[in-house]
Amino acid sequence: MENTEGATTKAIEAHTSKIPSDIFLWAALGSMAASATLKVCGRKHTALFVGQWAAPFLLLGIYNKIVKVAGHDQQDNGQQAPDKPDDY
């Protein structure tokens, strides 16, 4: 039995694969810059809150890249995802 993705996962991947990967990097850098600015302005708790957004943005960027390289669309088109990292 072959494992296939559900309709929800396919819908999410279809939308996220359209987003350029560098958007997530810029969002992470922007949240770090905003956090530093808030810290300098004396808003310590808000700065900590905004600064914690960087890691999720970077993780979303990694997910986005994985979807583009080895997402369900590779299997649906009859292609197989590469087995070794050097095949990318």
pLDDT for the residue numbered 28: 97
DSSP 41: T
Label residue 80 left, alpha or beta by phi (over 0 means left) and psi (-120 to 50 means alpha). beta
CB atoms within 10 A of CB 13: 19
Tens digits of residue pLDDT in 16-71:
778 888 899 999 999 999 999 999 999 999 999 999 999 999 999 998 888 888 76
| Spatial separation of the C-alpha atoms in residues 49 and 52, rounded to whole Å | 5
* Res. 85: pLDDT tops 60: no
| Spatial separation of the C-alpha atoms in residues 41 and 69, rounded to whole Å | 42
Lookup result for tokens 């994985």: 66
* Res. 73: pLDDT tops 60: no
Global pTM? 0.69
